[in-house]
Amino acid sequence: MNIAIIPARFGSKRIKQKNIKMFFGKPIIFWSIKAALKAKIFDKIIVTTDSKKIANIAKKYKADVPFLRSKALSGDKIGTTEVIVDAIKKIEKKNIIPTFVCCIYPASPLIKSSDIVKAFKIIKKKRCNFVFSATKFENPVRRGFEISSKGETKMLFPKEYNKRTQDLDQVYFDAAQFYWGKKSAWLEKKPLFNNNSTIVEIPKERSCDIDTPKDWQNALKIAKTIKLKN
């Protein structure tokens, strides 16, 4: 079985009730559920939440909510892996036994089902532990430097100082949309970023990690540009 798990807790410090805040006329979690449904590769789309309100909204848009997550696993210091592991263990008790599990973040309105499908084909073929969405840094990160409290500069990668920009390795960052993983990799809590993981590259304009009100406004601008549709 292929299972999508969407972790959507109620609390959010910087954006109140972020996971169900209205985005283009729908609760933002709708867009993640919609992308999962449109992919047509999931046997179950499960939302793990500590909130009955979120649970009801998720069910309205055809996701399953077979349990409510404990408050102990709903704090802002709890990692994604712990939440996914908890969900896997709970659904297996209900005889839902996945082979591959895709964690999809609830505040990912720019996500595309085609990227989810592409990543699934990779993990199924290559048998790597994880496949996730990522984006290139626009500027050469290896030219980056820090500023000390005294105003002094210090290169982060001093060995790269004399290299030409075109000779520097390309650097990517996590697009914070989805993470396909083998069930065993999740349960064994293997690190996401290692030599047994790979990526699906998405364009910079569709990468927006919504963590602050400024991020939210930026995502809205992008959504208007690409004419996001229900």
Q: Would you state the pLDDT for residue 169? A: 82
Q: Give the span between the Cα atoms of 143 and 229, in whole angstroms.
A: 39
Residue 140 pLDDT > 90, yes or no?
no
Unique residue bearing structure tokens 């993470």: 179
- Asked whether the beta carbons of 197 and 130 are under 8 A apart, the reply is yes
| Identity of residue 162 | N
**CA distances, 38 to each of 35, 63, 163, 164 (Å):** 5, 12, 45, 44
Q: Would you state the pLDDT for residue 230? A: 62
Q: How confident is the model at residue 20 (pLDDT cuts 50, 70, 90)?
A: very high
Average pLDDT over the chain reads 93
Q: Would you state the pLDDT for residue 141? A: 85
Unique residue bearing structure tokens 């998720």: 58
19-51: b or e for each residue (b if 16 or more CB lie within 10 Å)? Answer: bbeebbebbbbbbbbbbbeebebbebbbbbbbb
**Residue 124, token pair as written in the block:** 């199924």
**Mean pLDDT on 52-68:** 97
Q: Would you state the pLDDT for residue 138? A: 82
CA 98 remoteness from chain centre: 19
The overall longest dimension of the chain from CA atoms, in Å, is: 60
**Mean pLDDT on 214-218:** 93
**CA distances, 15 to each of 71, 107, 195, 210, 212 (Å):** 19, 11, 34, 9, 6
Q: Would you state the pLDDT for residue 18? A: 95
Residue 108 pLDDT > 70, yes or no?
yes
Q: Would you state the pLDDT for residue 74? A: 92
pTM for the full model?
A: 0.92
Q: How confident is the model at residue 190 (pLDDT cuts 50, 70, 90)?
A: very high
**Mean pLDDT on 1-27:** 93
**CA distances, 123 to each of 182, 198, 213 (Å):** 8, 9, 34
Residue 84 pLDDT > 90, yes or no?
yes
- What H or E segment, with its residue span, contains residue 186? helix 183-187
